[in-house]
A and B are shown apart, each in its own frame.
Chain A
Amino acid sequence: MNEDKSNHIFIFPRWTWVLRPGVALGALGGLLYAAVVVTFGFSPVATDVGYEPVQPVPYSHALHVGQLGVDCRYCHSTVEKAAHAAIPPTQTCMNCHAMIRANSEKLIPVFESYATGMPVEWIRVHDLPDYVYFNHSAHVRRGVGCVSCHGRIDTMEVVAQVEPLSMGWCLRCHRNPEPHLRPIEFVTQLDWVPMEDQAILGRRLRETNNINPPTDCNTCHR
């Protein structure tokens, strides 16, 4: 390895020169491909949207909300007063299921939890980074509907993420909230459609409710 090789510089044969444009093209293409993969492949749209984990209890929002008409706030009762729209305690399930389908096999984890006091371990679907401080109450009390971020939960057998929940996505609404505003009484009504043009309604609601969503960093990052 230590012998002097300075006199034996390896030179490609002349005929390989025709390959040069091909190599350059390949390298450029590779770079482009990497850029595309990183931009789209690693974006929340690709990685997060459609995330649909299997939950320990096959709870169907389509059944409870869509068919039976349970309001979101019956279970997620803290949504109007706290940052978290808390997952309900087992007690909430048992309010009905102590009587209804009290023998269902699907509900065994719920009954066990209720009897032992140990929690049901749900899988988090909508997961923001820990340095993001999202507050549910600040949104639902100003007329941003659940559906804007969570989609038509009332049609989902298994809850899936429908929006990317990325910072760019948040800012789109913070810069122009009008398309997502609705009268506060319809916030939890997922299938609500405005009776008038959303653009006019949005502008009016924004004015009457004095909605000026901040876009400075401290709003969400502390």
Chain B
Amino acid sequence: MSSIKPTGATYWRSLDELSRTPEFAEAVQREFPNDEFDTLPPATRRQFLMVMGASLAMAGLTACRWPKEEIVPFAHRPEFRVPGVPEHFATSMEIGGAALGMLVTSFDGRPIKAEGNELHPDSLGALSAVAQAQVLQLYDPDRSRRLLLRESGQEFVKRWDDFRAIVPAQFAGDGAGIAVLAEASSSSTQAKLREKFLGARPGARWYEYEPLSRDNEREGTRLVFGSAQRVHPELTHAAVVACFDADPLFDHPASLRLAREFAAARDPESGAGARLYAAESTYSLTGVRADDRFAVASNRVPALLAQVAHRMVADHGVDLPAAAAGFAGSVDSAASDAEARFVQALANDLAAHPGYSVILVGPRQAPAVHALAAVLNHALDGVNHTVTYSSVPDPDRPSHFEAIAELAARMGSGEIETLLILGGNPAYNAPGDLGFAELLAKVPTTIHLSLYDDETSQRCTWHLPCAHTLESWGDGAAWDGTVTLRQPLIEPLYGGRSAIEVIALVAGDEPISGRDLVRRSLGQDLPAMSSEVGWRGALRDGVVDGTAWQKTTPKLSPSALAGAVDSLRSVLDTPDPTSDRLELVVMGDAKVLDGRFSNNGWLQELPDAITKVTWDNALLISPATARELGIGDGEVVVVEANGATLELATYVLPGQARNSVCVALGYGRTAAGQVGDGVGVDANPLRTVAAPYVLRGATIRGTGRQYALATTQDHFAIDTIGFNERNHRVENLVREASLDAYLANPDIFHEYDHHPPLISLWKDHEYEGEQWGMAIDLNTCIGCNACVVACQAENNIPVVGREQVLNQREMQWIRLDRYFKTDPDVPIDEIDNAEVVFQPMTCIQCENAPCEQVCPVAATQHTPDGLNAMIYNRCVGTRYCSNNCPVKVRRFNFFNYHKDLADTTKMQFNPEVTVRARGVMEKCTFCVQRIEAVRINARNDNRPIADGEITPACAQTCPTRAITFGNLNDPKSKVSHSREEHRSYATLAELNIRPRTHYLARLRNTAEESGGESHAPSHAEADTHGKESV
């Protein structure tokens, strides 16, 4: 057995584990903790006999014949429709004004699964967890089903005609006193309707608000170039990527594309090794991937960037434009040695790779910081190489926070008579200092179009049910401007209408369908769209090729830059946070964003990538700050900032910056629905228009109460022996090395494999045909959780709820293991930065499977194509298999989780996968339904199955293509190739389980180890750039 620890570091999953608390010891003692029959009432002998007798009698009655079923064929079957054969339609969704292309599977008219549209530039076939969960939202039984009028404390159910009747009176005249508050939209149809609406009503005003806005970036470019630009990072050929509070791999409208590019820039087999630096206050998924991460308060991030600028100019003679020279001199002293080291290393690396380096700044940083990054990217010759610019639509609109503040002021002064709110939920998510919810009462007529009868709708006079994305026609633009279409997959379930239909209605347009609105608008924009062929082709593709905006090469504007330098100075002048005047960072949640997906069970139950918390938000705090303030992990604290308070549990997170605490938005909803109500705590009241993201001068105090966060991080630790064994094996489970060590010794990952000769008690299986296998590349996995939701949607995996997650009964088949790695010599409360490793762990389909050997009823068996099949209808629920599983990937249905689902929610189920009942074990099947579907078609056509023809749901949606699936018996298949890579290894080889899923080891590319030399992909290629690094 290996006990080599070449790094001398320890891996661990939670602080409880690292410090060996009694709670943790108890948790690992039992595989099925809290295993009392908690929801069954105690039964007396008499009740028992009664129930058993009745069930016997009823069983006798029904067993005579299966229940009568009906077959209801179409009266007129649509052309090309084959009952029971799924169809795919290209459509899109829009979040924050960027359209994301989707390909939605429709089964007999029911949309059941959303995947990415390969033709869409921001999707490239992948789809985020949030976008995939749209399908569940469509069928949400809590969605609004009625058009409501609330008057003098009473609710009246109305019809669309009733609303239409009041429109002429409400929207009459020149529009004075009329305001519209809309979500950000890239739809050209909506823009045209808006022009028409405002053209006829010059007095009316249109406001646009997004609680999670990227406007700071836009304003930053205005400071540098004199006009607003859209920033497009291009990572494919980047050698050095520096992120300052930025998360391009996850929290960016084009994150799926950027993640794909980043994976390409890190492919060690092609010699590429882009180096990633991150300075951030809390973990982002980009920060997790960083080779060099520096945890620093968001408030200090601008100073860090200014120091980098200074060092580049002072040490490396990087030329800043004259007008921007002030930037470099802004700050030249580091607060600590660690900071100085980080700054120096980054400055050296950036300066050594002109044309191949890029600096990215996150949306929570002030415009001046974005301006500084733009100037540095310019000076580093990154423009048109690692970053490109294009014009931005509607460049002169006020920023989202200015807009909502102006609207609130006008509402307060009683100027506004009629307010139309299109989507959004401003009563919940407007900055707290506006008091927007109360201001709504001052407007005589408020109309809210919304999917849910939510916080805002309940304070408005009219509530209009909105049609879901998958129910409506629409259009939009990708982040790069590519025209993206949206088509409905199903008629509106609850009589909703889309935003463009409502605008057309209030603008007094003739009654016209959403489809005709979109088609008319696109026909005006693009001549090709006016023909039937062009229109149908665009609908089929979901995008119109070649409609991306022209890339611009903006010139630095000296006059604007002067202002930028002054603005940066004022940013730098703000004092750093201290433990009694903390910085509170408010960020969008990775799952429910600003709360718009709060009522989505898939997303609420999805463990957060870093904290592994489900069904809650928590206050992230660094170990050192928690110690200084005397606050424990999981303790409920009171946070006070800007005169508002909130009470929530802490989560002590190593790697969180000192004196900076972080909380996610999107929780604490009161009118979200059955799923989202009362989950977590609402942080919006603390935000202000002036400081919506980074709140200074916050204080926290402990209450001494503990709150159990439903985290999954310590789950499936088996027992004490298993736990010790796992710790012993972590370095074996997740293997990593530095890029240089790997290039010097490609076999480095196999030096771990020390075990006695592997002899099996069982006869080997003999295989002829296809042999399925999988490879998961830990080097490209970014922990984005997309695969977890894809699997949940594809395989009808139930949502179990917070209580059951606390009981370790979550059901997701893919567990995204997250290990922290720290130096064992550093005390726990001094940990400032922990390296994080992700390992997606699902059934690895052992060749010599321990589960198969213990099943008393042969409900889990090996198939001739090498799958470790799970036969639900045979399972009697002994759970021996789970007990014997070395990677703990089997999930047990402790209850019938589907019993109480609404009929609409059941419409989401994939009919190709059995819905499991109570008492049945389940696990990853490699998406056997997809394998069988392809196999049957291939056999029908008498041809072999092509490589890549079968893609499991997880591999299909992975933005970085970290998961490869295919036939191991075919030496030319992609998965066979990845098996041959030096980085390929099998987990737990010494158990002789011979898994069919192999992992590819992860590589780090830190500057110290490689002496500052980055392995730039572009350097290997012929290029005309002429600025090679030394």
CA distance A70 to B63 in the complex (A): 37
CA distance A18 to B912 in the complex (A): 62
B75 touches A131 (CB 8 A): no
CA distance A25 to B83 in the complex (A): 57
Question: B926: shortest Cβ distance to chain A, in Å?
Answer: 10
Contact residue among B912, B936, B939, B942 (Cβ-Cβ distance under 8 Å from A222): B912
CA distance A51 to B68 in the complex (A): 11
Find chain A residues with CB under 8 A from B85 CB: 78, 81-83
Find chain A residues with CB under 8 A from B65 CB: 47-48, 51
Find chain B residues with CB under 8 A from A116 CB: 75
Interface membership of chain A positions 100-141, coded 1 if the CB is closer than 8 angstroms to chain B and 0 otherwise: 000000000000011011111111100101110101011001
A-B contact number at CB 8 A: 125
Give B898-957 interface residues, CB cut-off 8 Å to A.
912-915, 925, 928-929, 932, 936, 939-940, 942
CA distance A124 to B70 in the complex (A): 5
Contact residue among A81, A118, A135 (Cβ-Cβ distance under 8 Å from B75): A118
A89 touches B74 (CB 8 A): yes
B75 touches A87 (CB 8 A): no
Q: A130-B914, A133-B912 are in contact. Are A53 and B68 (CB under 8 A)?
A: yes
Q: A47-B64, A123-B68, A137-B940 are in contact. Are A86 and B83 (CB under 8 A)?
A: yes
Contact residue among A83, A84, A123, A222 (Cβ-Cβ distance under 8 Å from B70): A123
Which of B530-538, B865-873, B985-993 lies on the face that meets chain A?
Answer: B865-873
B75 touches A114 (CB 8 A): yes
Question: B109: shortest Cβ distance to chain A, in Å?
Answer: 13
A216 touches B864 (CB 8 A): yes
Residue B861 lies at the interface, judged by CB distance under 8 Å to chain A: yes
Q: Which residue of B lies closest to A135 (CB)?
A: B936
B73 touches A120 (CB 8 A): yes
CA distance A13 to B644 in the complex (A): 88
Find chain A residues with CB under 8 A from B83 CB: 78, 82, 84, 86
Find chain A residues with CB under 8 A from B82 CB: 78, 81-82, 86
CA distance A170 to B954 in the complex (A): 33
B73 touches A222 (CB 8 A): no
Q: Which residue of B lies closest to A219 (CB)?
A: B932
Most B Cβ at <10 Å: residue of A117, A130, A222: A222
CA distance A113 to B77 in the complex (A): 12
B contact face: mostly helix, strand, loop, or mixed: loop
B912 touches A122 (CB 8 A): no
CA distance A123 to B863 in the complex (A): 36
CA distance A133 to B69 in the complex (A): 17
B63 touches A222 (CB 8 A): no
Q: A82-B82, A89-B75 are in contact. Are A131 and B873 (CB under 8 A)?
A: yes
B932 touches A222 (CB 8 A): yes
B912 touches A91 (CB 8 A): no
Contact residue among A83, A88, A121, A218 (Cβ-Cβ distance under 8 Å from B928): A218
How many A residues face the partner with a CB closer than 8 A?
Answer: 45
Interface membership of chain B positions 48-92, coded 1 if the CB is closer than 8 angstroms to chain A and 0 otherwise: 000000000000000111101111111111000011110000000
Residue B874 lies at the interface, judged by CB distance under 8 Å to chain A: yes
CA distance A122 to B864 in the complex (A): 39
B864 touches A127 (CB 8 A): no
A222 touches B928 (CB 8 A): yes
Give B263-281 interface residues, CB cut-off 8 Å to A.
none
Find chain A residues with CB under 8 A from B939 CB: 138, 141-142
Q: Which residue of B lies closest to A112 (CB)?
A: B75
CA distance A142 to B938 in the complex (A): 12
CA distance A127 to B75 in the complex (A): 22
Find chain B residues with CB under 8 A from A120 CB: 72-73, 75
CA distance A216 to B932 in the complex (A): 12
Find chain A residues with CB under 8 A from B928 CB: 218, 222
B869 touches A124 (CB 8 A): no
Question: B528: shortest Cβ distance to chain A, in Å?
Answer: 34
Residue A14 lies at the interface, judged by CB distance under 8 Å to chain B: no
Residue A58 lies at the interface, judged by CB distance under 8 Å to chain B: no
Residue A26 lies at the interface, judged by CB distance under 8 Å to chain B: no
CA distance A212 to B64 in the complex (A): 35
A217 touches B869 (CB 8 A): yes
Find chain B residues with CB under 8 A from A192 CB: none
Residue A33 lies at the interface, judged by CB distance under 8 Å to chain B: no
CA distance A218 to B935 in the complex (A): 12
Q: A216-B861, A217-B863 are in contact. Are A47 and B73 (CB under 8 A)?
A: no
Find chain B residues with CB under 8 A from A131 CB: 872-873, 914
Question: A104: shortest Cβ distance to chain B, in Å?
Answer: 18
B75 touches A218 (CB 8 A): no
Find chain B residues with CB under 8 A from A119 CB: 72-75
B68 touches A138 (CB 8 A): no
Find chain A residues with CB under 8 A from B915 CB: 130
Contact residue among A122, A130, A133 (Cβ-Cβ distance under 8 Å from B932): A133
B75 touches A124 (CB 8 A): no
Residue A198 lies at the interface, judged by CB distance under 8 Å to chain B: no
Residue A221 lies at the interface, judged by CB distance under 8 Å to chain B: yes
Most A Cβ at <10 Å: residue of B68, B72, B75, B872: B75
Find chain B residues with CB under 8 A from A82 CB: 82-85
CA distance A138 to B444 in the complex (A): 66
Q: Which residue of A lies closest to B77 (CB)?
A: A89
9 shortest interchain CB distances as A-B pairs = A89-B77, A119-B72, A124-B69, A216-B863, A84-B84, A89-B74, A90-B75, A87-B73, A217-B871
28 intermolecular pairs with C-beta atoms under 8 Å apart: A78-B82, A81-B82, A82-B83, A83-B85, A86-B82, A87-B73, A90-B75, A90-B76, A91-B76, A113-B75, A114-B76, A120-B72, A120-B73, A120-B75, A121-B70, A124-B69, A124-B71, A129-B873, A137-B936, A210-B942, A216-B864, A217-B863, A218-B867, A218-B871, A221-B871, A222-B925, A222-B928, A222-B932
**Residues of B bordering A, CB below 8 Å:** 63-66, 68-77, 82-85, 861, 863-864, 867, 869, 871-874, 912-915, 925, 928-929, 932, 936, 939-940, 942
> A141-B940, A221-B873 are known contacts; what are 13 more A-B pairs with Cβ within 8 Å?
A81-B82, A87-B73, A89-B75, A89-B76, A90-B74, A90-B76, A91-B75, A91-B77, A114-B76, A121-B70, A122-B71, A123-B68, A142-B939
